Amino acid sequence: MITDIEDYFSRGCGRCERFVTPNCSARQWAQGLRRLRAYLKEAMAYAEAGIRPPREPRDVELPPELADALEADVELAEAFHALTPGRQRSQVIHLNSAKKSETRVSRIEALRSRILAGKGALER
């Protein structure tokens, strides 16, 4: 029985007649696993060096009804822009799920108190 992982991938699994032949599945996986190990070493080096991928700022595209409401109500605009980006997206996604403009306007009125309280659309 093979217990060392490197033996497993260099010699084969030892469970079938393909053992120690190039057709052994374990040998076919070895090349992919070598690439995976290389990727993992590269990622660990980045982590040890403290290198992180650059973050792209995501701007929230406001529905026209919300943009109009924010222009008309300064208090609401200040509260909305004080929300975290995730909570802003939460509000926008909730508003954009409505198909009709009238529904979005009524949702803005209903969500006003939540926005002023600094909460997302689905927070309690």
What pLDDT is attached to residue 19? 60
Global pTM value = 0.53
Q: Tell me, what's the pLDDT at 117?
A: 87
The predicted-structure confidence for 6-46, as pLDDT tens digits, reads as follows 666 666 666 666 666 667 766 667 778 788 889 999 999 99
Rounded CA-CA distance 103/109 in Å is 10
Which tens digits make up the pLDDT trace of 58-108? Answer: 777 888 898 999 899 899 999 989 988 889 989 899 998 888 999 999 989
Residue type, 46: Y
Cβ neighbourhood burial of 31 (10 Å; 0-12, 13-18, 19+): exposed
Q: CA 46 to CA 79: how far, in whole Å?
A: 38
